[in-house]
Every structure is written in structure tokens, then in C-alpha cells.
Amino acid sequence: MITGHHLIAGREAAATHSPFQAENPTTSQKLEPHFGEATLTEADEALQAADGAYDNLRLAPTETRALLLEALADEILALGDELLNRAHAETALPMARLTGERGRAIGQCKMFAALIREGSWAGLSIDRALPERVPAPKPDVRKMMVPLGPVVVFGASNFPFAIGVVGTDTVCAMAAGCPVVVKGHPAHPGTCELLSRAMFAALRKVGLPDACFSLLQGRSHELGRALVEHPLTQAVAFTGSMKGGRALMDIAAAREHPIPVYAEMGSINPVFLLPGALKERAAKIGEAYIGSVTMGVGQFCTNPAVVLGIKGADLGTFLQSAADNAAKVAPQTMLHRGICETYEAGTAVWHTVGGVKMVGSSAAEPNSDATQAACRIFSTSLDVLEANEELRREVFGPCSIVAECASLDDMLRFASSLDGQLTAALHGTPEDLREFAPLVRLLERKVGRLIFNGFGTGIEPCPSMHHGGPYPAASHSYFTSIGTDSIQRFVRPVSYQGFPDDCLPAPLQNANPGGAMRLVDSVLTRDAL
């Protein structure tokens, strides 16, 4: 099924410009077929098609869009072993991990289908007219969220299914009624093509036009720039590096008509070890910490990169446990050679900083030919951590730094200096939480998700999940890229004043044909009027 073609509104376009191949990171074997760089003409064609399909998708009955997402779930599953095998060959992610992630992608499709059927996401609000009100009559005003228009998606390298071609960004944009143009990830282009074919099969199954979706392959910054600059693009979703996300934000801001870029760019996800927890279970926390650091070879944006604890015997027990458990972790293959090289360069810098020492690492040496990375755990003092910016930058991979503090005041000082973060974790007892309440209050200003007695790795896609945070963790702290609220990135409110009932969008009509929850004269109800 993999041809190497671009899939533009259902049309297969041979990719002949600047050919490239995917590479198996474990063996360095080039994988067939050849792919190529989408041209600016092809980018324009995809966005013109998406804009042309906008009314078809946004005006389709809610049930049709819900059925589309359920059909997509079925088509992803129907790809079977071909999808899993190709993703494994392109990413080196274990088959068990890929199987679980496929389940997450399928679950997201069904979650958003249920969300749009339920209807409250659309912010439906009705204030009925009071023509006899004095001194001025009150008009009939009704409001709902409407889709923005064509959305460009840049998927993640580390979650090829759940945050990729048919991941949260694409699924919630199409649930809202926005056509999508995806720039395939050059590290797993075959996986991107297979998933795109699943999307076209689902569109055809429910009778929606192929132009609702396009896949453009490519490695160049020029293609990404062209997609963001295109005047028909109305929003951008991106998961990746700070450098890449900020570049897209700047391009979008420089347009004649700026558009939002919803970028999730990672963070160092600080962990605070409070005294009561260390006294009770320091060794167990150390073991769990290494499990989090090395999960997915450390290739998660919620990896716990910095840990703070108050100096003493209990912190020493934690460090010894971390070192012992790190030694047991075999080196593993990373997603691609570029990520591995950046990891090696980043940890090499840490080795050069005075006052920093490596206290634990994988016992076995990594095989560079197999793109492997070893776990590396470092320790230092808080003063050294604060004085060296390179120690506070995210290094993508299975590494972390533990900093010794003298007191709660040290932790508060460090927390107050933090940039925006996706997560922060506190390990403690209920008494610790009460005693260290000022730290919790401070972290609420800095992070998108606070975790008690756990780690940020492992995200549950659900209505209560917020995966975002103040800049630079994300481009806008209000929005999430995981969970049902992620749909809010691709809609905007429109009010309708004085419209005849039959000319209103169906969810705002008196009959409420879908039975959606609405705020009617300040009272929530599903009742017809």
C-alpha cells in the first residue's frame, strides 16, 4: 500500500522532487519506497482543496462527522500488522508500545465522536428576546462555536499514531468541522502514508469529499513555511522542539493576517522530593523515577529532567536507588539518528560543567551503530544548576539531573525562576503538601499539570487532562493538545442576533434536534423551546 506519493485531496501525486527514504534506526537500512519533497504548487493545491471542502465538512450533520471518526478508528485497526510493522521499522518503537499507542489513537477517535454527539463542547447559548423590556427591548441572541477553516498539522516524531497523521490534532480539527492538511514526518513517512489512506477510506465510507484531507511529505523548512504562510491556512498545530515551534509562531505572526499556532514544545518537568516522602519510601521513588526517565528511551516531552530534594541521608538513599536501577536499564534504540546525536551532545555538555557528576548509568555501553542511548543520571547542587543554563535545557532522551537543596526556601527560589512547564511533580505525604503549600501555589503559576506522587510520563486522554502550559512549554497556556478540550483550538464563537428560527444553525434552533446541552436564559438544559 505504500507508494511514496503525496495524497492531495485523494489524488496520488508522484513525489519526484528531492527524493529521500526512511531509515531503520536499528540497522541503518534504507526503507523502500522513495518519498519526495512536496512543491509549493502542491501545497497550494492541498489548501485550495481544503478550503473548497470547508462547507461540506462544517455543514455536515454532527452524526456524519461522528461516524467519520468511528470509521477512521475501524480503518486504522484494519491496517493490521502492516501498520505496526512499518512503524516499528521506521521508529524502532517496540511492538507492544505501538500496539498500545494504536489503541490510544482508536480511542481518541471514539472519544471525539462521543464528544460532538453530546454537544456541550460547542458552547451553545441562547438569550431569548424580551420585546416588552423597558427602557429598551432585548433582542434574541444566540451563540455557538464554529470551525475556523483549513488547519495545518505537524505531527510528532515520538507518537506516530496518537500525535501524528490521525492523532489528536487531526481528529479534533475534523470533529470540529475543519479540513486538515498534514505535513508528514520525514522520520516515518511510510507510517504517515498508511494512516492517510485510512483517513481517505473513512471519508469515502461516510460520503464526505476527499478534499477534507491531504498528506504532503517533505523534510524542508520551505514546505513548512509555505503551509503556514498560505492565506487559506487558518490555524496550525505543532508538536516538537522549542526551535521549530517558535519558528512557526514567528512565521504566522508575520502574515498579513496572523493566525494561531498551537505549539507544544516540551519542558524539563521538575520533580520536588518532599521530606516526608523521602523518609518513607526514598528507594521506591528512586526506582519509579528511573522507570519514568527511561520510558520510551526518554523520548517524551514530559520526561522528568530535573529533580530537587533536600540534602541529607534520605536523598542519598534516593540517589543510590536511582543509580542501582539505572544500571539495570539496557541501552535502547532512539527514534532516529538525529535525536540520538543530539542526546549524546547534550549529555556531553553536562559532563563538562564543574560541580556536576554522573551518579548512575546503564551498565552496558550503547551501540552507536544501532542508534542506542544509555540512561544517564547526574547530580549537582542547586547553586550549580541555577548558574548553568545548559543544565536547565531539555535534553531529549533518558537522562536527568538531581539537585541538592538546603531548604524549602531553595525549592521556592528555583520554582519562582522556572519558565513555563508542561508538568511538575511533588512526592510527599499529605502533611508535606500542607507544609509545602506555598510551593504548590507557586507551581500553579508555572505549569499545566501538577502531579502528586507520580511522574508526568503517561498521559491519559480525557476531559480533565491539560497538556500544555505557559510559554515556552506551549504557545498558549489556555489550550491543551491532549484531551477533549483540544477541540477548542480550532473553533471560534459566533453570535446570531434576530435570526428566524429556521435560518439558524440546527443546534441553536428552538427544537434542538440533536438534544445538545445549551445555556438558555442562563439555565443549562437539553429541552426544546
39 CB-near residues (< 8 Å, 6+ apart): 17
CA–CA separation, 4 and 201 (whole Å): 18
The C-alpha atoms of residue 472 and residue 486 are separated, in whole angstroms, by 18
Within 10 A of 337 (CB to CB), how many other CB atoms are there?
14
| Residues contacting residue 440 through CB under 8 Å, at least 6 positions apart | 426, 433, 450
- Nearest to 266, CA basis, from 94, 92, 457, 488: 457
> If residue 339 lies in a helix (H) or strand (E), which one and from where to where?
helix 337-352
**Looking at the DSSP assignment, which residues form a beta bridge with residue 147?**
491
Q: Write b or e for each residue in 481-497: b if 16 or more Cβ atoms lie within 10 A of its Cβ, otherwise e.
A: bbbbbbbbbbbeeeeee
The single residue of 301, 340, 375, 405 carrying the catalytic annotation is 301
How many C-beta atoms surround the C-beta of residue 151 within 10 A? 27
- Cα-based distances in Å from 176 to 68, 122, 145, 147, 487: 12, 9, 9, 6, 7
Q: Determine the Cα–Cα distance for residues 105 and 103; give it in Å rounded to an integer.
A: 5
> Rounded to whole angstroms, what are the CA distances from 123 to 64, 116, 169, 492, 518?
20, 11, 20, 10, 7
Active-site residue flag, 23:
no
At 507, list the grid cell. 443546534
In the numeric block, which cell numbers belong to residue 67?
Answer: 461516524
- Contact between residue 252 and residue 260 where contact means Cβ atoms under 8 Å apart: yes
In the set 264, 340, 399, 405, the catalytic residue is: 264
Question: Residue 410 has which C-alpha cell?
Answer: 531553595
Cell output for 101: 499507542
Q: Work out the angle at residue 423's Cα, subtended by the Cα atoms of residues 417 and 429, and round it to the nearest 5 degrees.
A: 95
Provide CB contacts within 8 A for 220, sequence distance 6+. 18, 37
The C-alpha atoms of residue 62 and residue 177 are separated, in whole angstroms, by 9
Q: Any catalytic annotation for residue 212?
A: no
Sign, Cα dihedral of 313, 315, 318, 319: negative
Q: Cell numbers 519510601 label which residue?
A: 281
Closest CA to 447 of 483, 412, 422: 422
Length of the chain: 529
So which residues are the catalytic ones? 264, 301
